[in-house]
Amino acid sequence: MKKLITFTSIVGLGLFLAACGSDNGATSSSSSAAVESDSDIKIVTTFYPMYEFTKQVVGDSAEVELMIPAGTEPHDYEPSAKDIANIVDADAFVYNSDEFETWVSDISENIDTQQTAVIQAADGIELMEGAEEEHDHETEESHEEEHSHELDPHVWLSPVLAAQEVETIQAALSEKYPELADTFAENAENYIAELNALDEEYTTALADATERTFVTQHAAFGYLARQYDLTQVAISGISPDEEPSASRLAELKDYVDENGIQYIYFEENASSTVAETLASEANVETLVLNPLESLTTEQLDNGEDYISVMQENLSALQKTIQ
């Protein structure tokens, strides 16, 4: 289905470009946010962390657009012909990884890389295997068949790896625009200092915790858990839309009861039904743990950003990690 949708988008792209070919002054974007600038440089980014990291690098030197609208779940997002045309027209395109924006490979032949720098922010980061989806297994053979070993793309949730993504974006943009390299380097250095301070906040706050396990609906926090010696217990898998089996929920209820877990974490931009079901069964509370895949328009308007939401995540985690 994803291949079909992307193929349809690419076919639509040809018609879209043909219709717009005579209107060189028009711009097209499905973005819900953009950093305006006096520069002619236009950078399209896929989802929120890529937008935030890129605008921190470029400052006022470029216009940065967010392609996937605020408040939209990006896991299964498929670009429209208009989205693809906007990428093709951009000077640079920033995305996280082929494991997250799986559609990028399907549109790559439409992108003239001499015009548009294609930047994979997670390039060079070794991805972990995602949390295995649990099922009832009657035999060892069925156990092997049904376990999923999908790679986990959520690297941005570790401040340390977020800094690495910022460095990758900065290096690629500096190569394309050497006249702005010093500006990009200074901006990146300043932002990485903020990310390092965030990392120190997490390290200090979680250093002496005796309970180091947390239960979350969406298996998005593996890199954060690894960075700070925590254990993530996920109700579902890499995608927030995955539904756990009844036996998995029963197993987790027992786990929560036996370990005195008081909170089940869910995310605002996906259905919280599964987390609420488990919390109700185990008679515990729910709290938000934001995977930062998307901020709402209200959050953006209120000035919330990667740093502030990650600090909110730390406060929420500390209710469990004690």
For 127-172, what is each residue's pLDDT tens digit?
A: 999 765 443 333 333 333 343 448 999 999 999 999 999 999 999 9
Residue 312 in domain: yes
- What is the overall mean pLDDT for the chain? 85
Which is nearest to 34 in space by CA: 1, 67, 72, 5? Answer: 67
256 in a domain, yes or no?
A: yes
Q: Which two tokens stand for residue 11?
A: 């076919």
Is 242 exposed, middle or buried, given 0-12, 13-18 or 19+ CB atoms closer than 10 A? middle
Q: How buried is 211 (Cβ within 10 angstroms: 0-12 exposed, 13-18 middle, 19+ buried)?
A: middle
What's the CATH number where 242 sits?
3.40.50.1980
User: Where do the H-state alpha helices sit in 229-302?
Assistant: 246-259, 273-282, 297-301
In a domain, 227, yes or no: yes
Q: 301 is in which domain, residue-wise?
A: 206-317
SS3 213: strand
Domain presence at residue 255: yes
Nearest CA among 267, 31, 53, 32 for reference residue 156: 53
Per the DSSP assignment, residues forming a β-bridge with 34 are: 65
**Helix (H) and strand (E) counts in the chain:** 12, 9
CA distance linking residue 293 with residue 48, whole number of Å: 6
User: Residues of the chain with pLDDT > 90: what percent?
Assistant: 64
Dist. CA 10–CA 108, nearest whole Å: 10
Asked whether residue 32 is assigned to any structural domain, the reply reads no
pLDDT at 83 over 80: yes
How many whole angstroms separate alpha carbon 67 and alpha carbon 32?
Answer: 7
| pLDDT of 254 | 93
What is the reported pLDDT for 272?
74
Residue 218 lies in a domain: yes
Give per-residue pLDDT as tens, 11-29. 455 544 444 444 443 333 3
Would you give the distance in Å from CA 16 to the centre of its chain?
Answer: 29
Q: In this structure, which amino acid lies at residue 314?
A: L
Q: Kindly state the average pLDDT of the residues 274-283.
A: 87
Give domain status of residue 72, yes or no.
no
| Structural domain count, the chain | 1
Both structure tokens of 48? 């929120």
Nearest residue to 125 via CA among 237, 223, 238, 232? 223
Cβ atoms < 10 Å from Cβ of 194: 16
pLDDT tier at 270 (50, 70, 90 boundaries)? low
pLDDT band at residue 33 under the 50/70/90 scheme: low
Answer with the residue of higher pLDDT: 214 or 139: 214
